[in-house]
Chain A
């Protein structure tokens, strides 16, 4: 029963089919709910999924943990979507949206389990292409279309690089499977460089991040919430695998230095660019870039602890960043513009939303007693153990810059009392409930981080 290890993948596939049928029957919002339910079932099925390998795919604890993160992101996005789509009158497209998201999810889940270069490329494209379409979902928004076009152009150019990179990697070992055998060593650095371009685009690493703020700003917010977590997690985590199973054993130890370099630049640029932002989604986009810089620091450690820490990092990021984006969705649904001026006095309109936001912002900023502190801490701990003191110091310094813009958002929400747009709708109950739930996880998880840290470390074999 090797295929049993792909149980969640099968379940997502089945959900895809079911969603398609429901959508065909003319009930798009039901299709969304079916998709969410399917995702949830797939998430639960991970508990009983065994290890195994099948057709260049292989599943172990690390993969399952990563798939859980992706499924969690998808479920959260799907749950928040129905009210959002109804509010912005995109219900007709809800079915398509659900399908696109499920395809992406499928791509991500496969990407996690690949052990084969061809499968990697296919999974990668499956993760990418539906997202271009999904980004253009709102057919009344010119910005949405523009963002989608930019997303697409960026994506396809980097796909070309990736394709070449994957090709070179197969030449290195002479087979399509991941292996540490080196037949043609000369292709290794070039292959890795090209791979990094492709993955750099996916995870929004410097200097391949330029699409991110534009797409984040213009795409439907629940999708952005998904987009800001799942593909990044998938990209980074598979990059870890590649580094550990192929590149490092093959003897290219300087790869870690490249990653460290990229980490430093990404941190710096992301944080500095987030500083002057006034649009919340753009701000979160740049902060996301900065966060990738932090995870890359763990990647640069090249250790099993580093892998475990980044699993944990994305688990935390799932709650804090998606929580923040869903919060932005709620703000938009209240009729407010998702800018600093727009959220002025949010505390008075919806204390629950504002306080949850505070939790997310603190978590993203890495303040103690919320989850984000621990994730950032462990990432830098891993980096410190690997002797990357410069990265640790830089990260700590930039954390201060980051805190400036996070606290600035908190200031507008909690401290500023003058509200810009008086007539605001009521906070959307369903989305706020999701947001509060995420905030609850962020806060309570911050008190008992070991609940998440230990499984992550175990999964990474650390």
Chain B
């Protein structure tokens, strides 16, 4: 695959992630969208690293993967707490805090 195609793919993943975050109702789907978002970024970083021979970007991608794991772990824990306390799993039903 060419540089352009890879970059396009990563952009598409990123955009899908964003769209997912903004449109999916279930919190777990949100978490998955965030995962997609991060992976889009990681792919972009790796593409750049490959294209420009920049090792730094590649190592950053690994850091990104690690951070994503940590984030999703914390996110899932919070989600479980939310479900336990409110019984709601849809993001748009959680609107106690507003204004």
Contacts and interface: CB of A to CB of B under 8 A. Distances in A.
Q: Do chains A and B touch in the complex (CB under 8 A)?
A: yes
Interface of A: 117-118, 121-122, 125, 129, 132-133, 136, 139-143, 145-150, 152-153, 155-157, 159-160, 163-164, 166-168, 170-171, 174-176, 184, 213-214, 217-218, 277, 282
A136 B34 CA distance: 20
B41 A167 contact: yes
A341 to B, nearest CB: 16
Given A121-B60, A174-B54, A157 B21 contact: yes
**B interface, over-half SS:** helix
B50 to A, nearest CB: 12
Contact of B44 (A150, A167, A282): A167
B27 interface: yes
Nearest to A133: B74
B20 to A, nearest CB: 11
B17 A160 contact: yes
Contact of A152 (B57, B75, B99): B75
A247 B79 CA distance: 39
Top 8 A-B pairs ranked by shortest CB distance? A214-B97, A170-B56, A176-B56, A142-B85, A167-B45, A145-B82, A160-B37, A145-B81
Contacts of A157: 18, 21, 34, 37
Tell me the interface secondary structure of chain A in the complex: helix
A143 B96 contact: yes
A118 B82 contact: no
Given A159-B67, A174-B54, A132 B75 contact: yes
A145 B34 contact: no
Contacts of B64: 121, 163
Contacts of B57: 167, 170-171
B4 to A, nearest CB: 15
B52 A141 contact: no
7 contacts: A122-B63, A136-B78, A148-B78, A149-B82, A171-B57, A174-B56, A282-B99
Interface of B: 14, 17-18, 21, 27, 30, 34, 37-38, 40-42, 44-45, 48, 52, 54, 56-57, 59-61, 63-64, 67, 70-71, 74-75, 77-79, 81-82, 85-86, 91, 94, 96-99
A153 B21 contact: yes
Contacts of A175: 56
Given A132-B78, A133-B77, A167-B45, A149 B52 contact: no
A146 B71 contact: no
B75 A146 contact: no
Given A145-B81, A146-B94, A167-B44, A160 B54 contact: no
A146 B97 contact: yes
A122 B42 CA distance: 15
B34 A153 contact: yes
A184 B52 contact: yes
Given A149-B78, A157-B21, A282-B99, A164 B41 contact: yes
A167 B60 contact: yes
Contacts of A146: 82, 86, 94, 96-97
A155 B94 CA distance: 17
Contacts of B38: 156, 159-160, 163
Given A143-B96, A164-B45, A118 B63 contact: yes
A142 B75 contact: no
A122 B96 CA distance: 33
A81 B13 CA distance: 43
A143 B86 CA distance: 9
Contact of B54 (A122, A136, A171): A171
B75 A125 contact: no
Contacts of B85: 139-142, 145
The winner among B27, B63, B77, B98 for most chain A CB atoms within 10 A is B63
A436 to B, nearest CB: 31
B24 to A, nearest CB: 11
A176 B71 CA distance: 23
Nearest to B83: A145
A133 B78 contact: yes
Given A136-B78, A167-B48, A156 B71 contact: yes
Given A145-B86, A160-B38, A139 B56 contact: no
